[in-house]
Structure 1
Amino acid sequence: MPRLVDHEVRRREITDAVRRVIIDGGLEAVTFQSVAAEAGMSVRLVQYYFGTKKDFLLATHRSVIEDAGARFLQRWNALGADATPRAAIRAVLIELLPLNEQRRGDIVVLGAFDWAAITGRGSTAQETFAPQALATVIAGQFERAGRADGFAPRLDAELVSLAIGGLAHGMLQGYLPAESAVELVDHLLDRMLGANTDDSTDPLRAS
């Protein structure tokens, strides 16, 4: 009997190969040939699953975001239904810092996409959508917090989203140690939501 092929598994093998190529050589190193070689399959097979380079690049970006989303959900569920807005936002932000190799690789890949968009050589923000989705999640938690003293949940969420990106890239560049990045996250949340009095989670031990 012919062997059954799980097409989703095969597509994931290809997008994982794209990630590794980007981490090793940047977005400019990504070609059908380099991805096929990394994935251990033929160029024709890669083309069968993704007709254009843009197709597999967007699929790769989406896979990184979906993986991060799954981690967020796992951490969110671990917090429990009674988690405060601050704890929920903190969990999301800490998950975006490169505190292990997996997250470091994800940030390198997303950073490559961001730079390509900035220079007009890649997908637009509308196609990749990640910053807007993050700001929406944070804004929802800010609204839960219910502060009324000039607080602007959506605008403040946009600021926090941009700030966490800067912290992550500072860590990648080596001038911001992990402990300092986490301290700055807590300081930012103090400024937004008031001083924290009960933080029982040590983010540096997160997997």
Structure 2
Amino acid sequence: MPRLVDHEVRRRQITGAVRRVIVGGGLESVTFQSVAAEAGISVRLVQYYFGTKKEFLLATHRSVMNDVGDRLTQRWAALGEDATPRDAIRAVLTELLPLDDRRHEEVIVLGAFNTAAISGQGITADETLAAPRALVAIIVDQLERAHRLDRPADRASPALGLDAALIGAAIGGLAQGMLTGYATAQSAVELVDHLLDRMLVPKADNRTG
């Protein structure tokens, strides 16, 4: 009896190979041939599942974001319903740092896509902006929650959106900087904590002057 093929498993095999090729040689090293060789399958099979290079590149980008999303869901579930906004944001931010081999690979891959969007290597910013926009939306939601807990009678400031964008930009820069030794795992987490301490100052602790 012929063996049934799980098509989703096969697609994951191919996008996993794309990730490894990117880590080893950058986005420019990704071809049907290099991906097939890395996956241990034929070029024809890669073409069967993904008709163009752009298709498997975007599928790879989605697979990275899906993996991050799955881990965040697990992290939030572990935090429980009583988690503070700070705890929730911290969980998101630390999950985006290259603190282990898996996340290290993801940061390299996402950085390669960002470079491709900037340099016009067949990937546009619009095709990869969903993830950073979703990150900012998550942070905004938690900052607004923190505001409601601290100042329930006051209306949330529109500046919370700017704060969330700054946090998102900071974590992206820190993640990429860690790849070149800008920060160690320990110092990166310390920077995240310092950033959140600065951004989530209770009203009673605010100082002027």
**TM beyond 0.5:** yes
Output aligned runs, 1:47-196, within 5 Å: 47-128=47-128, 129-146=130-147, 152-194=159-201
Paired-residue identity, %: 71
Counterpart of 1:165 in structure 2: which amino acid? G
For 1:54, the aligned partner's letter is K
Contact residue 118 and residue 125 of structure 2 kept, 8 A: no
Deviation at 1:191, TM superposition (A): 1.1
Q: Measure, in 2, the Cα distance between the counterparts of 1:178 and 1:104.
A: 11
**What is the number of residues matched between the two proteins?**
195
User: Aligned partner of 1:161: which letter?
Assistant: G
Counterparts of 1:170 and 1:122 in 2: how far apart (Å)?
25
Measure how far apart 1:130 and its partner are. Answer: 1.0
C-alpha deviation, 1:151, in angstroms? 6.2
* Residues 21 and 30, structure 2, Cα contact 8 Å, conserved in 1: yes
C-alpha displacement of 1:20: 0.4
The CA distance in 2 between the partners of 1:180 and 1:150, in whole Å, is 31
For 2:12, the equivalent position in structure 1 comes to: 12
Question: What residue number does 1:205 align with?
Answer: none
Structure 2 CA distance for aligned equivalents of residues 150 and 45 of structure 1: 53
Is the Cα–Cα contact under 8 Å of residues 21 and 30 in structure 1 kept in the other structure?
Answer: yes
Once residues 63 and 169 of structure 1 are traced to their aligned partners in structure 2, the CA distance between those partners, rounded to angstroms, is 19
What TM-score, normalized by structure 1, do the two folds share?
Answer: 0.90
Normalising by the residue count of structure 2, what TM-score does the alignment of the two structures yield? 0.90
CA contact (8 A) 1:135 1:157 kept: yes
Q: Distance in 2 between matches of 1:123 and 1:142?
A: 32
Q: Distance in 2 between matches of 1:37 and 1:79?
A: 41
By how many angstroms is 1:126 displaced? 2.0
Read off the aligned partner of 2:166 and give its amino acid letter. L
CA distance in structure 1 between the aligned counterparts of 2:15 and 2:84, rounded to whole angstroms: 36
Q: Is the 8 A contact 1:113 1:122 kept in 2?
A: no
Name stretches of at least 5 consecutive residues in structure 1 with no aligned partner.
Answer: 196-207
Runs of 4+ in 1 over 4 A off after TM superposition: 147-151
Identify unmatched segments of 5+ residues in structure 2: 203-209
Q: 1:84 and 1:191 mapped to 2: Cα distance? A: 16
Deviation (angstroms), 1:175:
2.3
1:187 & 1:8 partners in 2: Cα distance? 41
